[in-house]
Structure 1
């Protein structure tokens, strides 16, 4: 049952104020998708907490998650592009849709992360003698961004987006080595084999991937995010942005865990880059 069908089915069971929200959405679901919670509350003449309560009555995690489910109910999108975009959309329309759907996806992803798993990952990374980031396809750019972030942390770090190089790297790992594998679906066979090879050579393997996926099952630790994006059909967009945000979270945790003395080293790295840039001019 899709979201519109759910709303229609349970219309009579809603409270008076929740029903006003339901009727506003049913009257113009496309408008609801692109509305803020404050806008929808005004349209329905209810409070914002009422809108949130209505969303949770429908088994969603809040208003952003509800909008994602509502969008799925309305259309299947443009194949191989984006599920929220229609063929007839103007530049203004598809620009707004991409930004709004990405913001909503990030909110869902944030709420699905386990802080304890984040804390454990930071523990592992700060104790590593060498860190490797592996990713294929869209996740390769995330792995390269992770290398850029962690390279300045005075820890040997490598990044590979080629299976042969990954295999050779894993053969040379040991118990002091951490391998971070990045895959939205966690169903890429080659990456599962890489994770198994790394563990055979005593490395600790962290997976940034889907919960209960084949890749997740062979990792020592999984950082799973709920990003409602079907990359089997559509171009990876929000999932890639969520992965990048998670790398920023790990880099921040790493920096804070190392303390003030370590941050002084980061300052020196920044100072060393100043000569490579034109300085801003003040008129």
Structure 2
């Protein structure tokens, strides 16, 4: 049986405005929802009782009693963590709990939903690329730089570009054996969509770390989907950035394994170069 918390998070974007109010009320305090009547839930969410029932059916439950039963099972599952929105009333202890649990929940969801075929395609593209370009803007910029810090150790040409004009110029010079990793949580940042499309038009291979079905994914050669649900209108994405960093680590590991012994000497050189910078005692 599918975890009902995951069902809420997966179907959230497709819910009606009123149904989203029910979802938000439940995710804010899922433990309390188990013991709440449909009338109380309707009052809490500021909707009608029929809306609560419609919400339940929208996430594949037969009704509110069935939903509460499945919610209780979800919360009782070992290792199940719930993403909950932070509110202005939260104290620091609650903030710590919600942020950490949101991160764990999102990583668990990534593990379950990640497209292994897309990962294999991406690793193949990166392993055979003559040069790798990492593109990010705003909150995705630090992820691009982290990727540069990791991938250059492979001994292959790589750069990280967080300037739109530079992205435009490098995309214009794309070659069939060049790879472009474009990082965007929403996949709706227009400058990144434009440079990704230009790189693809000029023959480059574009790997998008983004939301599946987004405008960015439509112009990419391959999309590695990121499942997190964050309100980017109010907060700078935190969990999505953690997922992007995790995906970079996965891709880096995949390329390292694909290249085998040919990169081991590079790692030894880098480690040796850094040894004099470390204080041993």
Name the TM-score, length of structure 2 as normaliser.
0.74
Match of 1:193 in 2: 194
Tell me the residue number matched to 1:9: 63
Q: Which runs of 5+ in 2 are unaligned?
A: 1-18, 27-32, 34-51
Shift of 1:148: 0.5
Instruction: Confirm or deny that 1:180 pairs with 2:234.
Output: no
Partner SS, residue 145 of structure 1: helix
Residues 81-136 of structure 1 show CA distances to partners (whole Å, capped at 9, x for unaligned) of: xxx22212222221121111111111112212101110110011000010000000
User: Counterparts of 2:197 and 2:62 in 1: how far apart (Å)?
Assistant: 48
Task: Give the superposition deviation at 1:236.
Answer: 0.6
Q: Distance in 2 between matches of 1:194 and 1:181?
A: 9
Distance 2:278 2:189 in 1: 40
Runs of 4+ aligned residues of structure 1 deviating over 4 Å after TM superposition are none
Secondary structure (helix, strand or coil) at the match of 1:174 reads coil
Q: What's the secondary structure of 1:259's corresponding residue?
A: helix
Distance 1:270 1:175 in 2: 33
Q: Give the structure 1 partner of residue 132 of structure 2.
A: 131
8 Å CA contact 1:195–1:219 kept in 2: the answer is yes
| SS of residue matched to 1:159 | strand
Equivalents in 2 of 1:239, 1:163: separation in Å?
21
Number of residue equivalences: 227
Shift of 1:202: 1.3
Q: Encode CA deviations 1:171-226: one digit per residue, 9 max, x unaligned.
A: 22211210110000000111111011112221111111111111100011111121
Corresponding residue of 2:213? 212
Residue aligned with 1:215, SS:
helix
Q: Deviations over 1:146-165 (max 9, x none)?
A: 01110111000011111001
In 1, Cα distance between equivalents of 2:115 and 2:184: 18
Q: How far did 1:273 drift?
A: 0.9
Question: In the aligned structure 2, how far is the partner of 1:243 from the partner of 1:103?
Answer: 14
Aligned to 2:117, the other structure's residue is in SS state helix
Contact 2:155–2:263 (8 Å) recurs in 1: no
In the other structure, the counterpart of 1:46 is none
What whole-Å deviation, never above 9, does each CA across 1:21-71 have from its counterpart, x for those lacking one?
Answer: 75xx5xxxxxx9xxxx7xx54xxxxxxxxx48xxxxxxxxx944xx33xx4
User: What secondary structure, in the 3-state scheme, does the structure 2 residue paired with 1:208 have?
Assistant: strand
2:154 — aligned with what? 153
Displacement after TM superposition at 1:258 (Å): 1.0
Q: Distance in 1 between matches of 2:169 and 2:225?
A: 27
Q: TM-score, normalised by structure 1?
A: 0.74
Whether the 8 Å contact between 1:110 and 1:225 is mirrored in structure 2 is: no
Is 1:273 matched with 2:248? no
Unaligned segments of structure 1, at least 5 residues: 26-31, 42-50, 53-61, 72-83
Aligned-residue Cα RMSD (Å) equals: 2.4
Q: Distance in 1 between matches of 2:195 and 2:263?
A: 32
Q: CA deviation at 1:8?
A: 9.8
Q: 1:180·1:207 contact (CA, 8 Å) conserved in 2?
A: yes
